[in-house]
Amino acid sequence: MADITELSNIISDKNRLVFAPSIEAKYLSDTLGRKKGSASALVFPVSTEEVSAVAKFAYENRIPLTPRGAGTNLVGSTVPHDGAIIIDFSLMNKVLELDKENFTAWVEPGVILEDFQKYVEGEGLFYPPDPGEKRASIGGNISTNAGGMRAVKYGVTRNYVMALELVKADGTVITVGSKNRKDTTGLDLKDVVIGSEGTLAIITKCLLRLIGKPEKSLSLLAGFGSLKAGIEAVPKILKANLNPTALEFIERKVVKLGEDFLKIKFPLESEAYLLLTFDGSKEEIDSAFAKLGEVLKSSAEKIISLDDAALAQNVWRIRGCLVKAVEAVSEQEPLDIVVPISKIPDFVEFVNELERQSGMQMISFGHAGDGNVHLCVVRGSRSDAEWESELHANLEKLYAKAHNLGGLISGEHGLGVSKRDFFFKETPAENVALMNSVKLAFDPQGILNPKISYVK
């Protein structure tokens, strides 16, 4: 058995090395705090060299490693297991280079998303990925291939990662990707690491791609007689290349939750809504607004431009508070099922029906432009045992339905430890086997986040 205190030979600064049982509880869980793990040590490295040395020590002693960004994940990806060493990246939080000629930035993985967004916007540049949780770390965003609101126009985090410096399980440091915009020079190792939730390698540096900052941004709210009518307008919007930055759907009953929570009113009464944002120059936005009017003419009940700042703010506050509105009343399980765009109405109808049948409240809303349906499954007054068993039964039905519609368990949160069983149930055995082979190609001893890996 390894002597874990030997880590002090690598991290000599006592403030950056904590041993069990002195590790604070928050480091043993995710942001929901429901799942608790066990760790033998918690380190706060400040350099790739330190991360490499810690990995080498763990590898030689077969100790699991749990990389940790800002700990904002919802699926237990940062829950350590079996006496793992937690590698916390909060001190590796610097922007190392901003290259304005090539539109790239090298950053450390602990950089916080909104800090980075603000920094580059101050330089006239723009980092498009914009997941809901702004205090997440860039490393965490990459590890879950985070999506968010602007994905319909700009794509997901994957599309903005040009290179990664990685520490492999055995401590080897390698860089995958480059500052080049095209690459067919050998296998694409970078993309398989993106979204791998810390199971393949530890990210120590990130090269991100930037774009010019859009001049303006304006939102618009369209009301429909039914969710189905709203969703049916989506392919028309996409086909017309209107390129909305955001294209969200919400049902009336969900808006009401937000209205009651914030004590403010939505400016439009309809059964369902599409909420759109456009960005670009004034001419581009005007042209898109005009065309949108044409495209929605026969289907929308009413369209209002949110060019009044206070009005826009109210609408987005309601859209933004939905999870909090639910959580103010009860514990909830957050899902991020994704289905092909055309299947959103079928899926939401199924959710509404399951809500009626099961008596468990389910709030759905999300990204109409990419089929990503966010769902809050609400605990209400259930006892621990009731909540656990009823939730599990309903999750099985929801994931099975999504699978039947050609959908997937997770669009942007990841699997973590929370969704593993459902993942194995809905994923063909050959895919799981191949994922496992690739995992072992990167990490032959399986020490990186073993509990969320691809081994049943």
Determine the Cα–Cα distance for residues 80 and 59; give it in Å rounded to an integer.
16
Q: Give the tokens for residue 114.
A: 């909104």
Determine the Cα–Cα distance for residues 283 and 445; give it in Å rounded to an integer.
57
Q: Give the tokens for residue 16.
A: 């950056």
CB of 57 to its own copies, least distance (A): 19
CB of 260 to its own copies, least distance (A): 30
Using CB under 8 A, which residues numbered 33 to 62 contact its own copies? none
Binding mask 255-294 for its own copies (x = CB under 8 A): -------------------------xx-xx-xx---x---
Name which position in 358, 404, 427, 445 contacts its own copies (CB under 8 A): 427
Using CB under 8 A, which residues numbered 229 to 248 contact its own copies? 235, 238-241
Stretch of 35-43, 219-227, 333-341, 386-394 lying at the interface with its own copies (CB under 8 A)? 333-341
β 95-99/372-378 pair status: unpaired
Q: Which is nearer to its own copies, 96 or 240 (CB)?
A: 240
Using CB under 8 A, which residues numbered 113 to 132 contact its own copies? 124-125
Number of residues that bind its own copies (CB under 8 A): 93
Contact between 371 and its own copies (CB under 8 A)? yes
Name which position in 103, 106, 350, 387 contacts its own copies (CB under 8 A): 103
Q: Which residue reads 């980092």 in tokens?
A: 127
Contact between 183 and its own copies (CB under 8 A)? yes
**How many angstroms separate the most distant Cα atoms in the chain?**
71
Name which position in 105, 161, 176, 391 contacts its own copies (CB under 8 A): 176
Contact status, residue 408 vs residue 402, Cβ threshold 8 Å: yes
Q: Give the tokens for residue 284.
A: 């581009």
Contact between 134 and its own copies (CB under 8 A)? no
Contact between 212 and its own copies (CB under 8 A)? yes
CB of 307 to its own copies, least distance (A): 19
Q: Which is nearer to its own copies, 72 or 196 (CB)?
A: 196
Taking CA 193 as the corner, what is the angle to CA 189 and CA 199, rounded to the nearest 5 degrees?
A: 130
Helix axes 252-262, 309-320, angle to 10 degrees: 100
CB of 131 to its own copies, least distance (A): 11
Can you tell me whether residue 97 is helix, strand or coil?
strand
Contact between 338 and its own copies (CB under 8 A)? yes
Q: Which of 209, 230, 231, 5 is nearest to 120 (CA)?
A: 209
Stretch of 29-37, 83-91, 385-393, 425-433 lying at the interface with its own copies (CB under 8 A)? 425-433
Q: Which is nearer to its own copies, 47 or 180 (CB)?
A: 180
Using CB under 8 A, which residues numbered 305 to 324 contact its own copies? none
Q: Give the tokens for residue 45.
A: 């490295």
Q: Which of 414, 435, 320 is nearest to 366 (CA)?
A: 320
Stretch of 18-26, 257-265, 381-389, 432-440 lying at the interface with its own copies (CB under 8 A)? 432-440
Buried b / exposed e over 204-242, threshold 16 CB at 10 Å, is bbbbbbbeeebeeebbbbbbbeebebbbebbeebbeeeb
Binding mask 382-421 for its own copies (x = CB under 8 A): ------------------------xxxxxxxxxx------
Stretch of 35-43, 108-116, 152-160, 216-224 lying at the interface with its own copies (CB under 8 A)? 152-160
Kindly report the backbone phi and psi dihedral angles of residue 348, in degrees, each rounded to the nearest multiple of 5, phi listed first. Answer: -65, -35
Name which position in 178, 324, 356, 359 contacts its own copies (CB under 8 A): 178
397, with CB counted inside 10 A (0-12, 13-18, 19+), is middle
Contact between 441 and its own copies (CB under 8 A)? yes
CB of 376 to its own copies, least distance (A): 18
Q: Which is nearer to its own copies, 393 or 433 (CB)?
A: 433
Determine the Cα–Cα distance for residues 303 and 224; give it in Å rounded to an integer.
9
Name which position in 94, 100, 216, 302 contacts its own copies (CB under 8 A): 100
CB of 30 to its own copies, least distance (A): 15
CB of 125 to its own copies, least distance (A): 7
CB of 84 to its own copies, least distance (A): 21
Name which position in 151, 202, 206, 254 contacts its own copies (CB under 8 A): 151
Contact between 439 and its own copies (CB under 8 A)? yes
Using CB under 8 A, which residues numbered 61 to 80 contact its own copies? none
CB of 227 to its own copies, least distance (A): 15
